Amino acid sequence: MIIIMLGAQGTGKGTVAGHLVKGLEIPQISTGDIFRANIKNKTELGIEADKYISKGELVPDSITVPMVANRLDEDDCKNGAILDGFPRTIEQADSLKEILAKENKKVDLVINLTTPREEIIDRMITRRVCPNCKATFNTKLNKPKVEGVCDFCGTNLVQREDDKDPKAIEKRLQIYEEKTSPLVEYYKNEGVLRTEVISTSINHLAKEAAEEILADLKK
């Protein structure tokens, strides 16, 4: 099963994906992890990607798409994967469709998370992440059992640098809306879109949404 996570930063994608990884026993794949692995292993694509990343530039599709294709070819993805951070554009979505079609596969589900903007900003400021296992917590909504420590691996939690400045968060949300939100319509037309509103105002958080999605997938 191929699942794509859509939604602006701070909507709870990490929490939902984490639950699905455990329940479906398929890996979560992020472009950030793929870039880091290729750069660390000094692959040909990794060397090329690092030239852009080191300058703070976006890695072009000619590098990103083959990296994703290679990752989906690995053994742990034989039963599917959860893609987070890819695709980001319509062009990447078309490329993904072609990659999967070669293996007689397709995108089975696209989970689109939406949250009021003011809630997103507050969540990102109070978000804490595990630098080791990538688990996500929140000092208000999803506290770790021991303050500042990951529940799963015991590593000290950190606040991402880009979560500290509200103005920077606003800019990231604007970029998301301009570049990635058109994918919502794209996958709606494909008939695989599921939108979940994640908000304290309706008492529906990422954990509850994940449990509902998992239950539906296992029917």
The residues spanned by each domain of the chain are 2-217
Pick the catalytic residue: 22, 40, 160, 171?
160
Instruction: Mark whether 88 is an active-site residue.
Output: yes
Q: What is the pLDDT along the chain (219 residues), one digit of tens a residue?
A: 999 999 998 898 888 998 999 999 999 998 888 999 999 999 999 999 999 988 888 899 999 999 999 999 999 999 999 999 899 899 999 999 999 999 999 999 999 999 999 999 998 999 999 999 888 899 988 899 999 999 999 999 999 888 888 888 888 888 888 888 899 999 999 999 999 999 999 999 888 999 999 999 988
13 is catalytic: yes
Nearest to 152 by CA among 134, 127, 126, 128: 134
Q: What is the pLDDT of residue 79?
A: 94
Residue 72 in contact with residue 21, Cβ under 8 Å? no
* Range 2-217 has CATH code 3.40.50.300: yes
Q: What is the pLDDT of residue 50?
A: 94
What pLDDT sits at residue 2? 97
pTM (2 d.p.): 0.85
Identify the pLDDT of residue 211: 95
160 is catalytic: yes
Is 102 one of the annotated active-site residues of the chain?
A: no
**3-state per-residue secondary structure call for the chain:** CEEEEEECCCCCHHHHHHHHHHHHCCCEEEHHHHHHHHHHCCCHHHHHHHHHHCCCCCCCHHHHHHHHHHHHCCHHHCCCEEEECCCCCHHHHHHHHHHHHCCCCCEEEEEEEECCHHHHHHHHHCEEECCCCCCEEECCCECCCECCECCCCCCECECCHHHCCHHHHHHHHHHHHHHCCHHHHHHHHHCCEEEEECEHHHCECHHHHHHHHHHHHCC
The one catalytic residue among 123, 128, 134, 172 = 172
Residue of 71, 88, 123, 134 marked catalytic: 88
Look at residue 215 in the predicted model and tell me its pLDDT.
95
- Among this protein's residues, is 172 annotated catalytic? yes
